[in-house]
Amino acid sequence: MSELGVDLMSPGGWLPLAFALVMALSMLAYVILDGYDLGVGALLNSADSIEQKDIMIASIGPFWDANETWLVLGVGVLLVGFPMAHGVILGALYLPVALMLVALSLRGVAFDFRVKA
């Protein structure tokens, strides 16, 4: 592929592709695994009793916090592999990213308070 300007035999050619692949896989894992958590949250209103809601929340209890690790991995790979893109993307999306982090924190607090209540 050297005619396209990319030499896959050198680290400068394949390393950005490897970082992009790891970042894409971590984002895909986050979307799939956190989709399970969000799906349970969306279905809570369809539960008939408090016991069913407790069972639904207990089913995602061990996993909801670990799923956010994939999001952290993706942003970390973006920082390490593509620092200029990290600065541009997160600089332009500062407010939405800050709101997302606050929402993720409040979701965790809500899960913990539900268990205590």
Indicate if the pLDDT at residue 93 is higher than 90: yes
Longest dimension (CA), the chain: 64
Who wins on pLDDT, 94 or 36?
94
Q: What is the pLDDT of residue 72?
A: 86
CB burial of residue 48 (10 Å; 0-12, 13-18, 19+): exposed
Question: pLDDT tens digits, residue range 18-76?
Answer: 999 999 999 898 888 888 888 888 888 898 898 888 888 888 877 777 888 888 888 89
Q: How far apart are CA 106 and CA 66, in angstroms?
A: 15
Could you tell me the residue ranges of all domains in the chain? 2-116
Q: How far apart are CA 41 and CA 56, in angstroms?
A: 8
Q: How far apart are CA 82 and CA 17, in angstroms?
A: 11
Mean pLDDT score, 102-115: 83
HSE-CB of 60 using CA atoms within 13 angstroms: 25
